[in-house]
């Protein structure tokens, strides 16, 4: 059987897919991108399974392409013969330098966004809390959120919660090559900490034999892919706050993470997923472009927050803060100091409200 005909007749199946919020646009050229493990292939296979169009799916990492390369496939002839309306190229990278087929709709799936201006970029992130609830079979809200805080935001972990450590181990070994693993161990250790790229290299070389050029190169690739984010500080110019894209993976790779660390990283990633522009306000929280200050405070009482807010009021006014939102695990309260309003709200409510805004 011809390889293209085999691909067309035997598209991969995903038996455990849970629906995501993202909807593909109607553009002719689409680049679905996102960090490893966020569910891109599962998403696109579900799209194919529910489409009534003739779609050809090609996995560019399929071992069968080692014997018959992509360049030798008679794609143009196959499009005409089988009336192919859409083609999906999974595991695509610009470095492959492929001659892309001419078809009514072309979807390329990649970790790093393509530099081609022909493509509409659509990024898939790891799960947000509302998406996680679709994976969660427990109807008790407290239990569901506790599971979320335990297993994190990778779809694989959400699907197979009982074997979390084993799944994360296999994921880490399979998805990251050796030197990437070394760097990820350092990044996980310093998750939510302010630091410079040079400091990351300095910490890495204390444990591993790895070149400065390689560290800088991979850090750039990790940022482009969405493995890590370096958040600017509104107060200081040197050093940016490091956020690893999945707090559960960072916790698995380190023994130094507290609940507060994970909660902090979760909030930062929520802002990123909702495409909010923000910076850190030193150690005080995250400040958005509309001057809202968001403070992670999972268990603090109203009295404790009120005292701290009184002490920091001049700092808040100095940076023109218009509103302070305190994110908690379960507490709700409000108060006003001067002309500044403070509202504490559980993360589970805030994350959904923010999504609807």
> Which of 356, 284, 351 minimizes the C-alpha distance to 324?
284
Output the CA torsion sign for 138, 134, 255, 238.
negative
When pLDDT is cut at 50, 70 and 90, the band that residue 14 belongs to is confident
Kindly state whether residue 212 falls inside one of the protein's structural domains.
Answer: yes
Is 276 a residue whose pLDDT tops 60? yes
Tell me, yes or no, whether 248 and 303 share the same domain.
no
φ, ψ of residue 188 in degrees (nearest 5): -65, -40
Domain shared by 108 and 133, yes or no: no
Residue with tokens 């504490």: 344
* Structure confidence by residue, pLDDT tens digits, 28-84: 999 999 999 999 999 999 999 999 999 999 999 999 998 899 999 999 999 999 999
Identify any residues that bridge with 107 across adjacent strands, giving them in sequence order: 30, 88
- Classify 324 as helix, strand or coil: strand
**Lowest-confidence segment of 125-139, 197-211, 338-352 by average pLDDT:** 125-139
Residue 344, C-beta contacts closer than 8 angstroms, at least 6 positions apart: 297, 302, 305, 325, 326, 327, 328, 331, 332, 333, 334
User: Is 90 in contact with 7 (CB distance < 8 Å)?
Assistant: no
Decide if 264 is inside a domain: no
For 193-209, what is the mean pLDDT?
95
Q: Do 212 and 242 fall into the same domain?
A: yes
Q: Is residue 332 assigned to a domain?
A: yes
Q: Are 74 and 180 contained in the same domain?
A: no
The answer to the question of residue 268 being in a domain is no
Q: End of a domain among 204, 225, 257?
A: 257
> Which is nearest to 227 in space by CA: 289, 276, 180, 170?
180
Any idea what the CATH number is for the domain that residue 82 is in? 3.40.50
Do 29 and 137 belong to one domain? no
Please give the order of strands across the beta sheet that includes 333-337. 278-280, 286-288, 292-296, 323-328, 340-346, 333-337
Concatenated DSSP letters of 50-111: T--S-EEEEETT-GGGGTS-GGGS-HHHHHHHTT--EEEEES--GGG-------SEEEEEES
Q: Three-state DSSP class for 299?
A: coil
Average the pLDDT over each of 106-120, 155-169, 234-248, 269-283 and give the range with the smallest value.
155-169
- The residue-averaged pLDDT of 226-250 equals 94
Q: Is residue 80 part of a domain?
A: yes
* Helices (H), ranges, the chain: 3-9, 40-49, 75-81, 129-135, 141-151, 155-159, 164-175, 178-189, 197-205, 212-225, 247-252, 259-273, 302-318, 347-356
Percent of the chain surpassing pLDDT 90: 86
Q: How far is CA 240 from CA 208, 212, 214, 228, 251, in A?
A: 23, 19, 20, 12, 20
252 vs 189: CA distance, rounded Å: 10
CB atoms within 10 A of CB 320: 8
Is it the case that residue 357 has pLDDT exceeding 50? Answer: no
The verdict on 153 and 187 lying in the same domain is no
192 and 241 inside one domain: yes
Percent of the chain exceeding pLDDT 70 equals: 98
Residues 6+ apart with CB under 8 A from 267: 286, 294, 296, 327, 347
Which of 266, 329, 295 has the alpha carbon at shortest distance from 126? 266
d(CA 286, CA 291): 9
Q: Is the pLDDT of residue 128 over 50?
A: yes
pLDDT score of 248 = 95
Same domain, 344 and 310: yes
Same domain, 111 and 32: yes
Phi-psi region of 34 (alpha: psi -120 to 50; beta: other; left: phi over 0): left
Q: Are 186 and 202 in contact (CB under 8 A)?
A: no
Q: State the average pLDDT for the chain.
A: 93
C-alpha separations of 283 from 121, 243, 340 in Å: 33, 14, 19
pTM value? 0.93
Q: Give yes or no: residues 212 and 318 share one domain.
A: no
Assess if residue 263 is contained within a domain.
no
Provide the number of structural domains found in the chain: 4
Let me know if residue 46 belongs to a domain.
yes
Can you tell me whether residue 268 is helix, strand or coil?
Answer: helix
Same domain flag for 95 and 16: yes
Decide if 262 is inside a domain.
Answer: no
Mean pLDDT of 225-231: 98
Which of 163, 190, 222 is the last residue before a domain boundary? Answer: 163
Dump pLDDT digits (tens) for 139-198: 678 888 999 999 999 998 888 877 889 999 999 999 999 999 999 999 999 999 999 999
For residues 325 and 36, what is the distance between their CA atoms, to the nearest angstrom?
32
- Identify the domain containing residue 84 by its residue range: 3-123
* Same-domain check for residues 11 and 116: yes
């Amino acid at each position: 059987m011809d390889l293209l005909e085999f691909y067309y007749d035997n598209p991969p199946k995903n038996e455990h897919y849970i629906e995501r919020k993202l909807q593909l646009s109607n553009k002719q050229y689409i680049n679905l991108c996102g960090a490893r493990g966020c569910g891109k292939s599962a998403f696109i296979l579900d799209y194919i399974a529910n489409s009534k169009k003739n779609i050809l799916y090609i996995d560019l990492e399929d071992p069968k392409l080692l014997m018959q390369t992509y360049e030798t496939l008679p794609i143009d002839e196959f499009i005409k013969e089988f009336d192919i309306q859409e083609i999906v190229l999974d595991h695509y990278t610009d470095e492959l330098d492929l001659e892309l087929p001419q078809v009514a709709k072309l979807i390329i799936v990649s970790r790093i966004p393509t530099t081609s201006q022909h493509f509409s970029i659509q990024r898939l992130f790891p799960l947000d809390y509302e998406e996680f609830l679709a994976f969660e079979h427990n109807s008790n809200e407290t239990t569901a959120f506790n599971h979320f805080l335990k297993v994190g935001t990778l779809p694989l972990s959400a699907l197979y919660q009982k074997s979390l450590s084993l799944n994360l181990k296999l994921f880490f070994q399979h998805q990251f090559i050796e030197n990437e693993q070394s760097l990820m161990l350092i990044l996980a250790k310093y998750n939510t900490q302010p630091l410079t790229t040079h400091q990351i290299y300095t910490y890495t070389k204390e444990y591993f034999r790895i070149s400065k050029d390689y560290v800088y190169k991979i850090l750039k690739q990790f940022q482009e892919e969405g493995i890590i984010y370096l958040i600017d500080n509104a107060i200081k110019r040197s050093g940016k706050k490091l956020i690893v894209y999945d707090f559960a993976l960072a916790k698995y790779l380190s023994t130094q993470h507290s609940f507060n660390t994970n909660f902090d990283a979760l909030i930062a990633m929520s802002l990123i997923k909702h495409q909010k522009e923000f910076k850190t306000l030193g150690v005080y929280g995250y400040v958005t472009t509309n001057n809202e200050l968001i403070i992670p405070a999972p268990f603090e009482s109203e009295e404790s927050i009120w005292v701290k807010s009184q002490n920091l009021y001049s700092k808040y006014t100095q940076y023109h803060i218009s509103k302070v939102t305190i994110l908690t695990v379960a507490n709700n309260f409000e108060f006003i100091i001067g002309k500044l309003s403070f509202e504490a709200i559980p993360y589970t409510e805030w994350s959904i409200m923010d999504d609807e805004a």
